[in-house]
Structure 1
Amino acid sequence: MAENKTGRGSDQFPLRLPEGMRDHIKLAADQAGRSMNAEIVARLEATFDKEFNTPVEIVKIKPIGLNKSDAASLLGVSESDLDTLVQQGRIPPPRTAGGSMIFLAEEFESAAKELLAR
């Protein structure tokens, strides 16, 4: 891609960032050896398909499994309440994977939706 220089005469756009985002941008810019502005521009340019001039679809990968803490948080209950729901058969039990107890995300989500629909 041809490099477009930015400077005082360039278009400007005030931008509000979520808390902590500025620090992430600063760290990435420092690691890349460029300014924060150049980092933001580079990352924006990377999200556009140059051939068709349309945004590239950004896909968030859905987790396959949830640990106990994340499962309880997702449901909005304590870990002990989650244990009770599992014991009552209202939530499927976790599986053992690599020595960790993991709830299968799709199975958990389905049971949670049914539980909350009651």
Structure 2
Amino acid sequence: MSEKAGNPNSYPPRGLGRIDAARYLGLGLSLFDTLVKDGRLPPPKQVNKRVIWDRVALDAAFESLPDQAQDNRSTFQKLLDSRPVA
């Protein structure tokens, strides 16, 4: 058992570097950078010369991203809807 797992006072870091922040959200670095640049993810905080992302702000931004549209039609209905109108 690792020391962290056995320590009841351990907790995840609040600030994450760029690579860890992207990994935390399950994103590659280029997509992470794009989402930060266009404002869908928060900008980093500056701590001396380090730039770090607030994990809580990342969570909030991630929650506000749209869900993937779901198509709940049956396979038959999709086939009917795709036929040209006569």
Aligned residues: 66
Residue 60 of structure 1, CA deviation: 2.9
Q: Which residue of 2 aligns with 1:100?
A: 50
| 1:76 aligned onto 2:31 | no
Partner-residue secondary structure (3-state), 1:70: helix
* Unpaired segments ≥5 residues, structure 2: 69-86
- Quote the residue 2:73 is aligned against: none
Once the two structures are superposed, residues 1-25 of structure 1 have per-residue CA deviations (whole angstroms, 9 ceiling, x without a partner) of xxxxxxxxxxxxxxxxxxxx6xx7x
Secondary structure of 1:86's counterpart equals helix
State the one-letter code of the partner of 1:72. Answer: A
Higher relative contact order (CA 8 A, sep 6+): 2
Point out the structure with max Rg over C-alpha: 1
TM-score by length of 2: 0.62
1:66 to 12, 16, 19: 16
* Percent identity for Structure 1 against Structure 2: 34
RMSD of aligned alpha carbons: 2.6
1:109 equivalent among 56, 59, 76: 59
> What's the counterpart of residue 17 of structure 1?
none
Q: 1:113 to 1:99 in 2, by over 3 A?
A: same
Structure 1 residue 117: Cα displacement: 4.1
SS of 1:74 mapped into structure 2: helix
- Hey, which bits of structure 1, 4+ residues long, moved more than 6 A? none
- The residue type paired with residue 105 of structure 1 is R
Superposition TM-score, scaled by structure 1 size: 0.47
